[in-house]
Chains A and B, each alone.
Chain A
Amino acid sequence: MSVPRPPSQLSLNVNRTERSVCADPATPLLYVLRNDLECNGPKYGCGLGQCGACTVLIDGVAARSCVVPVRAAVGHVVTTLEGLARGERLDPVQQAFIEEQAAQCGYCLNGMIMTAKALLSMHPDPTDEQIREALRFNLCRCGTHVEIVRAVKRAAVLLGQAGQQAEPR
């Protein structure tokens, strides 16, 4: 049915770096990020776009990388968990999650942090209600929801203190 697509050389901008990969353009972005570019922040959870563990930012907007074909990311700016910190300095959102001890098993945290990052770039000072709504499609089976909401609140404070805009790139 579909004419088979040969692997092709694709150029991706991941974490402020131009990367070149050879892949079937229909390959999920997640596979390329983890296997070819060694960005293991995004996790393989359900593979169906349901759980959110694979969330990355594309042009600053949340994306479920397990259902986004890699070709859709060409020409856009991809940011993974690895791309948040600047050198040794953690992103305020990461810092807040550590300070609030928001992890139990930690598998969902990539998605929680990246989605929170996307939220804070739109709403620098969200209400509890907005945080819950934003994270409603990110699943956590350990039950650290309360800590996670607190972490996002703290992240907003840290961001405000840093005086910097939540700049996703």
Chain B
Amino acid sequence: MNDLARVAGGGDIAHGADGTMLIPPPARERCLFGEVVRPRHPHAATLRRFDAEAARAVPDVVAVVARANFLAVVARSPAQAAAGAAALRPVWSEAGGRTEQRVPRRRRVVASHGDAASALAAASMQLEQDYRWPLAGIAPPAATAIADWRDGELRVWLPDSRPGALRAELAKLLGIAETAVALICWHDGADMADMAAMAAMADMADMADVSGAAARASVSHHAAADAALLAQAVGGPVRVRFDAAAFDDATGWITTRIASATTGGEPDGEAAAISAYQVTATAMPVQARPLASIQTGTPSAVSDVGGSDDAGLVPPYRIDHLEAVSADMAPTAAAIAINPLAGAVAQVFARESHLDEAAALAGVDPVALRLNHLQDERGAALVRQVARQAGWQAPAQRSVSRAASGDASAGVRRGRGFAYASVVDADGAQPTHSWAAWVADVEVDAFSGEVSVTRVTLGHDSAVSTSTPSPSSLPSPSPGRTQAAAPALEHDIAEATRQLTAQAPSFDRWATAADAATALPAAVGTLAPEVRVVGGLTTTAGLRGSAAATLPAAAAIANAIFDATGVRLREPPFSGERVRLALAGEHTEDAPARRKRQWLIAAGAAIAGLCATVMPWRSAIAPVAPPEPGFYSAATIERGRLVAAAGDCAVCHTAPNGAKNAGGLPLETPFGTIYSTNITPDVDTGIGNWSYAAFERAMREGVHRDGRRLYPAFPYTAFAKISEGDMRALYAYLMSAEPVHAPAPKTELAFPFNLRPLMAGWNLLFHRNEPFQPDPSRSVQWNRGAYLAEGLGHCSACHSPRNAFGAEKGGRAYLTGGEAEGWEAPALTSLSRAPIPWTEEDLFQYLRTGYSSRHGAAAGPMAPVVEELAQLPESDVRAIAHYVASFNAPPPDAATLDRQARVLEQRSATLARTMTGPADRLYQSACAVCHQSDQGVPMFGAKPSLALNTNLHGDKPDNVIQAVLKGIPAPSSNALGDMPSFADSFDDRQVAELVHYLRARFAPDKPAWQGVDEAVARIRGSASTGAKVVHGANGANGAHHGQ
């Protein structure tokens, strides 16, 4: 308890730097979970009313907490808390509005000496550029905090060690003394959960803070305040997650314009120097109070919170003529996730990028250029140390040695960049001076533009800023300490680089696994950079390390990308798409001529496209040697893997019990049986000798490498929409797979369909070879869903009707239902026959788990689609659900849906009492045990309701017959059991009787099905041809599966 007292009374966040007194947070099982409900503009909104009773009625909800405009639910599990929060249905009114958003800027000269303006005007070598940095950090951050309230004392665990005014704010918020508040630095995540890990963390306490998560700093304060308020309300430990992504205004940019003049600049000229430097930064002021304090109307504990942040605007270099100007924007209503360090990060990025540009312009070594201007010996020593450790060479020398070693691989371009930062942080008890220097090595995939950071050499040093730091006090690196720090630091650097190289939100962005998981999963480890640490990692009292270590990250990576490709990126993120576009346009000259030429090219392409489409025979594309292993970057191959999963390649290109993607699966079409081909990189039987051009032509135009036309059973009509980046990545993925020698059976259709050249005419009529165009009037999520569903996912290939030529009908018929492999593919639009309308959430559950309790299980050809979708991140599956849901009328609310479901169940239960006879006995003996939730004992998993089943309400009996005869293998992501096949226990007459019974009992408002007998015979016949064997359905025959 002594320790606790020290923590509570101490001046800073308890850290356990001595490794003994770290207090672990309450175990997850002991915690309650809080869900705070906020409007999208929480600063400006007033809470009008909410339904507390409805929230309390949700099982496991412990409390509803409302204070002024703060509203939250506490429950025993996160899911129940979310359910309770949803039940609150609060009504907010937005006061004030956005009247004062556009206030004129205020210019303030932060530093000035010499005469920068005239020096610039006089200079012969001048460079002026704008750099932009997103205010909220690159990805909207999120944080989890735990608060425990006991005996009038508050303990808060939060992933941050920079308390700032947080302690005072929390004390004010809870109406207690500051000494009753204990703040404990803690990082969420499975690996940190146990005591051993906590102890290890104590050892690297100073490093844990480097936490690339400077971005987490402000959100962790919001989370901490939310948790504190709720812990006090319920009198026990409460866990709260705060996610800035939920708010609109977490955007905004700092724009920095830098003009400089360089003198000297002879090749190898040591004398090159910046003679004048003028910087103007435009930004919004930082707001640092926790939202809970603002929403409860708690007066501010600190008089001067936030304010404009000029941190880092003045360069740490000695320059003769200098001017630094800060121009403020008026604060917008909510700048929720503004990172207090954003100002410094933006300035370091702008300055260090600019110096690299100036050095490249003058043809000098960027490190030497900086050293020429570094007046601070401790910083200069760190720079030298990092450069030495990284084996830094001037770019000119490096290109020579690279050429000599034959490193100039066409596929992957490598480069390295340097950046340096030196900041004084006045946030803690004592101002701290931090230095950081980075050398980043990158690999850029020349085709996809994908950037991966392969290695980071980092030096970091800090000292309590008293007067001038003594130059001799640079501590030597301590190996033991560096070892202990490595995991946390690697995590931070991996996170920083991942965010920096992430794609801007766009329809073809693939979320990495790390986006979804809280901790970095093992899979990403292969892509994480190798990290080498040099320099002193000093522990100072008060502030332990700082986020300063990751300050140079962005500029170092941008400079490395420039070194690798000659492409200069002046705003993050450094996405593959941006790099690729810049690389594609790198040979263009002045703009007007280029535009004209582009227009001509476009017109030419259109004409060529037209000709190509009509020409019945296409020329072969010359075979090429398959790419060497290691030709593509790991990031590109990983992206390609997701593309392939979304495109369901393996579903059709894998035969039962065959090797993946080796082809040979028979596909029954109305025109005959088509066999899928081998798409492994085998030279003889696969696509091993296909160039990218040949691959792309096949994917977009349906033409084999040898010029032969492909049948549209291969949905190139949809694949034409795939973006260039995804197409490249898919090619990289397929070509990097293990080649399998497997000749596919020959497709032989009856005349006239065996005449492949006829497909040219078909294409002219029915195929538009156009990439996906996002609809700017729709959200990013909708466009993402549309891209996945229309292009890669080719939903309409099955779910749209086809005309007599086998072409999909578009327009109003789009997604109105079709068929696939003897199954009916139901309408996905408002023409759906589902007795209860599909909601976005139901669609998501169905696509993610293969089962929706209000509709049924994914079966037949849809089952493997769900299995492939399981590889995609959740956000993508949600996007598809969002897109498909947009074709339906907005569904009624959850209560109405539940009522509808009850009415349907009741109706069939009533009917059951009067329905007797042989079919009823069949149902009772074969079906009821798993489908009647009101009979027998509860069973493990769910009892899927037939009264709500979409297929029983459909226009055709086919899917019901398919399910009865062939069974449904259990969805792999669900606890449902298999539905067994009844083909061997029921004859055709029994199946038909049962199907009629099911229809009459569970869809009494629908007409009886016609032609059931024929359908049963047909479907049983198709099952025996073995063209499609539903995996797992044979298990019911009693034969023991081989093991």
**Can you name 11 A-B pairs with beta carbons within 8 Å?**
A2-B863, A24-B1043, A26-B970, A26-B978, A26-B1032, A47-B1038, A52-B929, A61-B939, A66-B980, A68-B978, A72-B975
A44: chain B residues within 8 A (beta carbon): 1038
Whether A2 and B937, one on each chain, are in contact in the complex, defined by CB atoms closer than 8 angstroms, is no
The docked-state distance in angstroms from the alpha carbon of A48 to that of B986 is 12
Interface residues of A in 34-81 (CB under 8 A from B): 35-36, 44, 46-50, 52, 58-59, 61-64, 66-69, 71-72, 76
- Fill in one digit per residue for B859-882: 1 if any A CB lies within 8 Å of its CB, else 0: 001011001000000000000000
Whether B650 and A69, one on each chain, are in contact in the complex, defined by CB atoms closer than 8 angstroms, is no
Interface status of B658 (Cβ within 8 A of chain A): yes
- Choose from A21, A50, A61 the contact partner of B929 (Cβ within 8 Å): A50
A23: chain B residues within 8 A (beta carbon): 1041, 1043
- Choose from A27, A49, A61, A68 the contact partner of B1041 (Cβ within 8 Å): A27
The docked-state distance in angstroms from the alpha carbon of A65 to that of B665 is 32
Chain B positions near chain A (C-beta within 8 angstroms): 650-651, 654, 656-658, 660, 665, 861, 863-864, 867, 925-926, 928-930, 935-941, 969-970, 972, 974-980, 982, 985, 1028-1032, 1035-1038, 1040-1043
Interface status of A25 (Cβ within 8 A of chain B): yes
Whether A50 and B925, one on each chain, are in contact in the complex, defined by CB atoms closer than 8 angstroms, is yes
- Taking A2-B867, A26-B1031, A67-B1036 as contacts, is the C-beta distance between A62 and B940 under 8 angstroms? yes
- Choose from B936, B974, B1040 the contact partner of A133 (Cβ within 8 Å): B936
A52: chain B residues within 8 A (beta carbon): 929
| A115 to chain B: closest residue by CB | B937
Whether B925 and A62, one on each chain, are in contact in the complex, defined by CB atoms closer than 8 angstroms, is no
- Taking A1-B1028, A2-B1031, A26-B1032 as contacts, is the C-beta distance between A49 and B930 under 8 angstroms? yes
A50: chain B residues within 8 A (beta carbon): 925-926, 929
Given contacts A24-B1043, A28-B978, 9 further A-B pairs with CB under 8 A are: A2-B863, A3-B867, A4-B656, A4-B1031, A31-B1040, A69-B969, A72-B974, A118-B938, A134-B936
B654: chain A residues within 8 A (beta carbon): 1, 3-4
Whether A26 and B941, one on each chain, are in contact in the complex, defined by CB atoms closer than 8 angstroms, is no
CB of B919 to closest CB in A, whole Å:
16
| A29 to chain B: closest residue by CB | B977
Interface residues of A in 14-33 (CB under 8 A from B): 21-28, 31
B867: chain A residues within 8 A (beta carbon): 2-3
Interface status of A149 (Cβ within 8 A of chain B): no
- Choose from A27, A48, A136 the contact partner of B980 (Cβ within 8 Å): A48
A26: chain B residues within 8 A (beta carbon): 969-970, 978, 1031-1032, 1035, 1041
CB of B936 to closest CB in A, whole Å:
5
The docked-state distance in angstroms from the alpha carbon of A52 to that of B864 is 30
- Taking A2-B867, A50-B929, A64-B977 as contacts, is the C-beta distance between A136 and B936 under 8 angstroms? yes
- Choose from B940, B1035, B1043 the contact partner of A59 (Cβ within 8 Å): B940
Chain A positions near chain B (C-beta within 8 angstroms): 1-4, 7, 21-28, 31, 35-36, 44, 46-50, 52, 58-59, 61-64, 66-69, 71-72, 76, 115, 118-119, 122, 133-134, 136-137
Whether B937 and A48, one on each chain, are in contact in the complex, defined by CB atoms closer than 8 angstroms, is no
- Choose from A22, A66, A137 the contact partner of B935 (Cβ within 8 Å): A137
The docked-state distance in angstroms from the alpha carbon of A69 to that of B974 is 11
CB of B943 to closest CB in A, whole Å:
11
Whether A49 and B969, one on each chain, are in contact in the complex, defined by CB atoms closer than 8 angstroms, is no
The docked-state distance in angstroms from the alpha carbon of A86 to that of B928 is 34
CB of A169 to closest CB in B, whole Å:
14
| B654 to chain A: closest residue by CB | A3
B935: chain A residues within 8 A (beta carbon): 133, 136-137
B977: chain A residues within 8 A (beta carbon): 49, 63-64, 67-69, 72
In this complex, which of B665, B867, B970, B1037 has the most chain A Cβ atoms within 10 angstroms of its Cβ?
B970
B651: chain A residues within 8 A (beta carbon): 1, 3
The docked-state distance in angstroms from the alpha carbon of A118 to that of B938 is 8
B938: chain A residues within 8 A (beta carbon): 61-62, 118, 122
B657: chain A residues within 8 A (beta carbon): 4
Whether A49 and B1043, one on each chain, are in contact in the complex, defined by CB atoms closer than 8 angstroms, is no
B1040: chain A residues within 8 A (beta carbon): 31, 35
CB of B337 to closest CB in A, whole Å:
36
Those 8 A-B pairs whose CB atoms lie nearest each other, nearest first: A2-B1031, A63-B940, A137-B929, A58-B940, A67-B977, A48-B980, A68-B977, A26-B1032
Whether B926 and A28, one on each chain, are in contact in the complex, defined by CB atoms closer than 8 angstroms, is no
CB of A125 to closest CB in B, whole Å:
16
| B970 to chain A: closest residue by CB | A69
- Taking A26-B1031, A28-B978 as contacts, is the C-beta distance between A64 and B926 under 8 angstroms? no
- Taking A2-B864, A4-B657, A28-B978 as contacts, is the C-beta distance between A68 and B940 under 8 angstroms? yes
The docked-state distance in angstroms from the alpha carbon of A93 to that of B604 is 84
- Taking A4-B658, A50-B929 as contacts, is the C-beta distance between A67 and B940 under 8 angstroms? no
Whether B1035 and A48, one on each chain, are in contact in the complex, defined by CB atoms closer than 8 angstroms, is no
A76: chain B residues within 8 A (beta carbon): 940
The docked-state distance in angstroms from the alpha carbon of A36 to that of B1041 is 12
| B863 to chain A: closest residue by CB | A2
In this complex, which of B660, B864, B929, B1028 has the most chain A Cβ atoms within 10 angstroms of its Cβ?
B929
CB of B648 to closest CB in A, whole Å:
11
A35: chain B residues within 8 A (beta carbon): 1040, 1043
- Taking A63-B940, A64-B929 as contacts, is the C-beta distance between A31 and B1036 under 8 angstroms? no
In this complex, which of A7, A47, A52, A59 has the most chain B Cβ atoms within 10 angstroms of its Cβ?
A47
CB of B649 to closest CB in A, whole Å:
11
The docked-state distance in angstroms from the alpha carbon of A23 to that of B1042 is 8
Whether B1043 and A7, one on each chain, are in contact in the complex, defined by CB atoms closer than 8 angstroms, is yes
B665: chain A residues within 8 A (beta carbon): 1
| B861 to chain A: closest residue by CB | A1
The docked-state distance in angstroms from the alpha carbon of A72 to that of B850 is 14
B925: chain A residues within 8 A (beta carbon): 50
Whether B1031 and A69, one on each chain, are in contact in the complex, defined by CB atoms closer than 8 angstroms, is no
The docked-state distance in angstroms from the alpha carbon of A72 to that of B942 is 12
- Choose from A2, A4, A47, A119 the contact partner of B969 (Cβ within 8 Å): A2
B1043: chain A residues within 8 A (beta carbon): 7, 21-24, 27, 35-36
CB of A52 to closest CB in B, whole Å:
8
Whether B1037 and A47, one on each chain, are in contact in the complex, defined by CB atoms closer than 8 angstroms, is yes
Whether A134 and B1028, one on each chain, are in contact in the complex, defined by CB atoms closer than 8 angstroms, is no
| B1030 to chain A: closest residue by CB | A1
The docked-state distance in angstroms from the alpha carbon of A21 to that of B1038 is 20
| A130 to chain B: closest residue by CB | B937
Whether B939 and A64, one on each chain, are in contact in the complex, defined by CB atoms closer than 8 angstroms, is yes
The docked-state distance in angstroms from the alpha carbon of A71 to that of B971 is 11
| B1038 to chain A: closest residue by CB | A47
CB of A71 to closest CB in B, whole Å:
7
Whether B941 and A72, one on each chain, are in contact in the complex, defined by CB atoms closer than 8 angstroms, is yes
CB of B944 to closest CB in A, whole Å:
13
Whether A48 and B982, one on each chain, are in contact in the complex, defined by CB atoms closer than 8 angstroms, is yes
B972: chain A residues within 8 A (beta carbon): 25, 71
CB of A21 to closest CB in B, whole Å:
8
The docked-state distance in angstroms from the alpha carbon of A119 to that of B1038 is 28
B1028: chain A residues within 8 A (beta carbon): 1
The docked-state distance in angstroms from the alpha carbon of A157 to that of B880 is 55
B975: chain A residues within 8 A (beta carbon): 72
CB of A74 to closest CB in B, whole Å:
10
The docked-state distance in angstroms from the alpha carbon of A122 to that of B941 is 17
- Taking A28-B978, A72-B975, A119-B937 as contacts, is the C-beta distance between A49 and B929 under 8 angstroms? yes
B937: chain A residues within 8 A (beta carbon): 61-62, 115, 118-119, 122, 134
- Choose from B650, B979, B1037 the contact partner of A3 (Cβ within 8 Å): B650
Whether B926 and A61, one on each chain, are in contact in the complex, defined by CB atoms closer than 8 angstroms, is no
Whether B940 and A3, one on each chain, are in contact in the complex, defined by CB atoms closer than 8 angstroms, is no
- Choose from B928, B941, B976, B1042 the contact partner of A137 (Cβ within 8 Å): B928
The docked-state distance in angstroms from the alpha carbon of A134 to that of B935 is 7
| A116 to chain B: closest residue by CB | B937
The docked-state distance in angstroms from the alpha carbon of A89 to that of B651 is 52
In this complex, which of A27, A44, A48 has the most chain B Cβ atoms within 10 angstroms of its Cβ?
A48
CB of B675 to closest CB in A, whole Å:
13
A27: chain B residues within 8 A (beta carbon): 1035, 1041, 1043
